[in-house]
Amino acid sequence: MSTDTPQIIYRHDYRAPDYLIDTVHLHFSLGERQAVVTSRLHCRRNGEGGANPFLVLDGEELELLSVFLDSRKLTEKEYVQSKESLTINQVPDNFELAITTLIRPEENTSLEGLYKSSGNFCTQCEAQGFRKITYFLDRPDVMSRFTTTIEADSSVPVLLANGNLVETGKAPNGRHYAIWHDPFPKPCYLFALVAGDLVRVADTHATGSGRTIDLHIYVQKHNSDRCDHALRSLKKAMAWDEKVFGLEYDLDLFMIVAVDDFNMGAMENKGLNIFNSKYVLAKPQTATDADYAGIEGVVAHEYFHNWTGNRVTCRDWFQLSLKEGLTVFRDQQFSADMTSAAVRRLTDVIMLRNLQFVEDGGPMAHPVRPDSYIEINNFYTMTVYEKGAELIRMIHTLLGVDGFRRGMDLYFQRHDGQAVTCDDFVRAMEDGGGVDLTQFRRWYSQAGTPQLLVTSIYDPASRTCTLQVVQSCPSTQGQEEKEPFHIPLAVGLLNSRGTDMELSVNGKKMGTTVVLDVKEGEQAFVFEDIREKPI
């Protein structure tokens, strides 16, 4: 029986890393039962971090073979190895570290890091799986440019990693290799490697700027006839992102791997998305309409992460909704444009009420940006994803379509290539959209589902209709009292014939639908020149 006390990680304890890793060169020598991984890390002291002379790297279940600091092999007295880390006792301000480790993918039943299943090598690194591949600063605010060399027996014909393919060739003893380079900095949770006996289905996408992007889907041979819908969905998503958000794909190649036994469902690794077959493959003989719609949505979601999650990522895991809430909103908007906006919205709201409202009203209620966690893998909740998307939708409502686009443009202009926070996103929306979102930030820190009680009072003498709005929010664990939320409330009035009534506020005509800024516990809104009692 374990008596270890779980360690609680708190958001307020965040501190910038003492060191950064600018470039990473990885070499994988894949064998039948083991793999040797050599990493060359170009590191430097972070001016925003502390003055710690020790470099502490994360690592779990690794067999350390050697450590070199600036080409000099370190003795065991110069580093400390534990079950969860490797500490280099003294390092200069700028240095190269070369580390060789041995791992056993076939025995990796955690399915985090590099594992082997059904003869195929595959990775899953979000949230903290990269530390099971090699020693590294396994945190999302350390962004590096990766070059990856994979060497394997020729019986493993497909060798894939992030970025663009720069070289392939033969190696001694019936082996071969492939070298991949990703020119864009990314955190290590977005690293991916796939090696196995897979078949390829290919297409291309022409961007608005005139570039041609190669699109490859890799699957097990028995699934090769089920890729067409996923390819069409991917091309739709790429075109939609260019049209709606002005976001063009940045590499020369986009790859999807779909295998039957991938454990995470879907993962947005840079340029190399990995899916379980269930979420990406379909054919008319066996798939339903719901299957086709779901595949279109999930393929789009993982593709959209290229900008909202990969190019701009999270500073720490407390900011998870920065990428997931925003990307869920984007895939909802995409699906609404591809199908029926009304039907899509009804589907989203039904799911929200049936699942997220229950979570928000129970013992597991937590804010969209939580303040603490024990196990990071339990962080991927309906609240972080689906409620997080509703926060983005409310910002979209407050700013309008054009204001939201200006906010998004400013967000990428400020933060491309950075690891940032939910506050950074809201600030860009504020500045780009010209709307004060100070009070709106409470949505990120307060748990629970607020309730609105709306009462209508019509005065025929003054021809006014007053809406009295009272907001409340039940107490949740650790939050007995809630401050008022900033809630955009879209309202309209109908006359006795069921027709929309023109609305005026303070002498200004507002059309037939008005978005009210509900900011107080009790608030009244008066509509003028209402000639009959609304129904």
Q: Which residues are catalytic?
A: 302
Tell me if 270 sits within 8 A of 190, measured CB to CB: yes
Q: Which of 407, 406, 372, 366 is nearest to 388 (CA)?
A: 366
Look up residue 59 and give its two tokens: 């690592």
Q: What is the CA radius of gyration of the chain?
A: 26
Tell me if 122 sits within 8 A of 191, measured CB to CB: no
Q: What is d(CA 25, CA 474) in angstroms, rounded to the nearest whole number?
A: 52
Distances (CA, A) of 316 to 139, 223, 264, 348: 7, 37, 20, 28
Q: What is d(CA 524, CA 526) in angstroms, rounded to the nearest whole number?
A: 7
Q: What is d(CA 132, CA 103) in angstroms, rounded to the nearest whole number?
A: 8
Residues whose CB falls within 8 Å of the CB of residue 465, separated by 6 or more in sequence, listed in order: 456, 457, 458, 459, 493, 526, 527, 530, 533, 534
Q: What is d(CA 258, CA 15) in angstroms, rounded to the nearest whole number?
A: 37
Tell me if 388 sits within 8 A of 368, measured CB to CB: yes
Look up residue 20 and give its two tokens: 């950064």
Query: How many CB atoms neighbour CB 8 within 10 A?
Result: 9
Q: What is d(CA 474, CA 219) in angstroms, rounded to the nearest whole number?
A: 48
CA dihedral 194, 200, 206, 210 (to 10 degrees): 60
Phi, then psi, of 306 in degrees rounded to 5: -55, -35
Tell me if 419 sits within 8 A of 313, measured CB to CB: yes
Q: Dihedral sign, CA of 102, 106, 110, 114? A: positive
Q: What is d(CA 493, CA 91) in angstroms, rounded to the nearest whole number?
A: 69
SS3 289: helix
- Give CA 433 to chain center in angstroms: 23
Largest CA distance in the chain: 95
Query: How many CB atoms neighbour CB 335 within 10 A?
Result: 22
Q: Which of 170, 133, 157, 137 is nearest to 45 (CA)?
A: 137
